Chain A
Amino acid sequence: MATTTITRAVRLRRSRFRGLLWRENLDGWLFIMPWVIGFLAFTLGPMVASAVMAFMQWDILTPAKFIGLTNFRNMASDPLFLKSFGNTAYYTFIGVPLYLLTSLAAALLLNTGMRGTNIYRTLFFLPSLTPAVANALLWTWIFNPDFGLANGILYLLGLPKQQWLFDENLAKPAFILMGIWGMGQQMILFLAGLQGIPDQLYEAASIDGAGLWRKTLNITLPMLTPTIFFNLVMGIIGSFQVFTTAFIATGGGPHYATLFYLLYLYRNAFDYFKMGYASSLAWVLFVVVLIFTLIQFATARRWVYYEVEEAR
């Protein structure tokens, strides 16, 4: 008698528990449904469509035609594809390490706790908030060969005027300079990373007689590797997609020196209406970015230091 009531109560509680679990499962999926639908409609669906279109020739007006690997074959002999790819690689592999170095240096500088740090931090960070279009217009004016600020500074230093964005060899470095000016977000991430390093580590190192240099090398940098990793991954992904500045400031010139990959892709799609070719370009970009991201994740285990993962 007594045992049956107990088992009944247990069973009842169990079924209520199961009901709750079931409810949680249902609600869980229900609440993420908008995202799931959006993901299918605006991410996965288009990705698949793009993969199919990469094998087609399509100008929107006439029906699409399946042409196999022709788009990819054309790429190999398309001088502008090669040029834009090279430009983007240059911009990425020179630019991103420089952004990392300058933002890290700025963060270290700000982390010394000097008087006025708050003001300096604001001043270092503000440029990164400049809207891309306004930013591009401003720098076009700064690099104006006749009346720009850049040449004004060179003049003050007694150096000859430069053609900047009109000079094939200087255009990309000028873009990188703009990028360095806008490194504020990475810097904030480094600052957050620096503030997350426990003081005990430095104290222990001081007791062991470590100087500033040793502490930076053996504590700060290893503890910052997750932030370095994040900035590196996102930096490379971002700079493979540089668009607005080139579109506004140079339109890809001079002599295609700033024809970056996304700009060329955009032109193929929306100026020349080569939807198929643009899709194949998009997939090449995707695969290249994916490979670089995977390489970074694969090597991360060797150089990125993670503290114990949090549970739940």
Chain B
Amino acid sequence: MSQAIYERSAGARTGQRENAWYRVLKLLGKLLLQALLITTSFSMLLPMLWLISTSLKVSGKEWAFPPQLIPNPVAWSNYVDFMRELPVPFYKYILNTVTITTFATLGTVLTSSLAAFSFARLRFWGRNRVFILVISTMMLPGAVTMVPTFLIFKTLGWLDSFLPLTVPYWFGGTAFSIFLLRQFFLSLPYELDEAARMDGASNFWIFLRVIMPLARPAVASVVIFQVLDHWNAFMGPLIYINSQQKYTLTLALRTFQNTRSQRINYLMAASMIQVLPVVVLFFTAQRYFIRGISVTGLAGR
């Protein structure tokens, strides 16, 4: 009995000694990892800090070498003053961008959710083959269709209007949104549809009243990615919009870059106006971002 206790305590002692070493090593590892994480985070953050810092510098102070990270004095007025450098009132650009974003997103949500419902919950001839087609359009380089699509809209007389940037999204939205919604619809129990069908509900009613009310998180992800896409869009507006009155925010930034004054602090302030809403959106809806991106990864399967 006592022998056993002795052995056990001896074992415990060597265990403790190993444990101590192990703990030191583990602590060192942890410290190393933390140091790595902190330095990487800082270097990821640095360009952002530089953007914010430059946007707040008094004109003239941005031309300093070596660069100063803390602006002194802080020129909040840059955020108002830069607007005077642009040929059109600044709110116009925002309004144009918001208009395009709203109509394109609305079309995407309505038509892609209907298609996704069909792909997930209805059995129809050729379904899987068509769905593979949807997925494969994700991999199609947009450049291939760019020139003819431009010519279509030119023929329709839609150039220099918002139509080429919104109307296509009323035709099934994007492959990504269909895919994301379909994945979500697949996860809902089929008893819901069957019960409603027993009661004589039509497929459209099931879509509208049974499935869609449950799909809010997936719809939120789609909306967020659509808003982001249209808010950031550059090539589309560049090709289709010509008059300053109809410029989007991204085109305005581009104009800004070419103005005579070349005030980098103003340019950075204007860029911040584009970045800030995205950051705010991210922090208010972080989980939808992460979920949306994670679901795209499934498209690879």
B3-11, B76-84, B147-155: which lies at the interface: B147-155
CB within 8 Å of A: which B164-203 residues = 168, 170-173, 178, 186, 197, 202-203
Task: Kindly state whether residue B34 has any CB partner on chain A within 8 Å.
Answer: yes
B139 touches A149 (CB 8 A): no
Q: Given the complex of chains A and B, what is the CA–CA distance between A109 and B44 in angstroms?
A: 15
The main secondary structure of chain A at its interface with chain B is: helix
User: CA–CA, A24 to B170, complex, Å?
Assistant: 23
| B47 near A131: Cβ-Cβ < 8 Å | no
Given contacts A188-B294, A193-B297, contact A293 B139 (CB under 8 A): yes
**Contact across chains for A278 and B147 when beta carbons are under 8 A apart:** yes
**Is there contact, CB below 8 Å, between A233 and B300?**
yes
Inside 8 A of B173's CB, which chain A residues have their CB? 35
Stretch at the interface among B16-24, B88-96, B108-116, B213-221: B108-116
Tell which of B40, B142, B178, B297 touches A35, judged by Cβ atoms closer than 8 Å: B178
Q: Find residues 221-276 in chain B having any chain A CB closer than 8 Å to their own CB.
A: 228, 231-232, 234-235, 238-239, 250, 253-254, 257, 264, 267-268, 271-272, 274-275
Task: Type the 1/0 row for B123-165, where 1 means its CB is closer than 8 Å to any CB of A.
Answer: 1110100100110010111111111111110100000000000
Q: Known contacts A31-B122, A227-B300; is A45 also within 8 Å of B148 by CB? A: yes
Chain A interface size range: 35 or more
A138 within 8 A of B: yes
- Which of B51, B143, B207, B275 sits near A262, CB closer than 8 Å? B143
Whether A37 contacts B171 in the complex (CB less than 8 A), given A227-B300, A240-B141, comes out as: yes
Distance in angstroms between the alpha carbons of A39 and B114 in the assembled complex? 15
B28 within 8 A of A: no
Known: A28-B122, A123-B44. A241 touches B115 (CB 8 A): no
Question: Which residues of A are found within 8 Å of B274, using beta-carbon distances?
Answer: 131, 133-134
Contact (Cβ within 8 A) B37 A31: no
- The CA of A34 and the CA of B290, in the complex, are separated in Å by 28
A132 within 8 A of B: yes
Bound-state Cα–Cα, A5 to B235, Å: 68
The 8 Å CB contact of A131, one of B140, B172, B239, B275, is B275
Checking A35, A144, A286 against B172 with a beta-carbon cut-off of 8 angstroms, the contacting residue is: A35
Complex formed: what's the CA distance from A46 to B54 in Å? 44
The segment from A67-75, A89-97, A112-120, A163-171 that touches chain B is A112-120
Q: How many A-B residue pairs have CB under 8 A?
A: 275
Query: Are A24 and B67 in contact, with the CB atoms below 8 A?
Result: no
Query: Shortest CB–CB separation between residue A113 and chain B, in angstroms?
Result: 10
Is there a chain B Cβ closer than 8 Å to A272's Cβ?
A: no
B253 touches which of A137, A151, A266, A279 (Cβ 8 Å): A137
Within 8 A of A (CB), among B18-68: 30, 33-34, 36-37, 40-41, 44-48, 50-51, 54, 62-67
Chain B residues whose C-beta falls within 8 Å of the C-beta of A109 in the assembled complex? 33, 36-37, 40
Q: Are B293 and A185 in contact (CB under 8 A)?
A: yes
Asked if A147 and B299 sit within 8 Å, CB to CB, the answer is no
Instruction: Mark the stretch among A47-55, A200-208, A213-221 that contacts chain B.
Output: A47-55
In whole Å, how far is B94's beta carbon from the nearest beta carbon of chain A?
A: 13
Residues of A within 8 A of B63 (CB): 146-147
B-side contacts of A229, CB under 8 Å: 300
Instruction: Evaluate contact between B151 and A49: CB separation under 8 angstroms.
Output: yes
Chain B residues positioned under 8 Å from A266 (CB to CB):
146, 235
Give CA–CA (A86, B47) in the complex, Å.
Answer: 29
Query: Would A126 and B66 be within 8 Å (CB), given that A38-B171, A244-B235, A289-B141 are in contact?
Result: no
A289 to B136, CA, bound (A): 13
Q: Pull 23 A–B residue pairs with CB atoms less than 8 Å apart, ordered by A.
A: A28-B122, A31-B117, A32-B118, A38-B170, A39-B137, A45-B152, A50-B147, A109-B36, A114-B30, A116-B34, A124-B40, A124-B41, A127-B47, A129-B278, A133-B234, A133-B254, A134-B272, A137-B257, A141-B50, A149-B46, A181-B47, A244-B234, A282-B141
Assuming A46-B145, A286-B143, what are 9 further A-B pairs, CB within 8 angstroms?
A23-B203, A32-B115, A50-B144, A133-B232, A147-B64, A149-B50, A269-B147, A278-B146, A306-B301
A-binding residues in B (CB < 8 A): 30, 33-34, 36-37, 40-41, 44-48, 50-51, 54, 62-67, 111-112, 114-115, 117-119, 122-125, 127, 130, 133-134, 137, 139-152, 154, 168, 170-173, 178, 186, 197, 202-204, 207, 228, 231-232, 234-235, 238-239, 250, 253-254, 257, 264, 267-268, 271-272, 274-275, 278-279, 282, 286, 289-290, 293-294, 296-297, 299-301
Closest 5 CB pairs of A and B: A38-B171, A35-B172, A28-B124, A230-B300, A46-B148
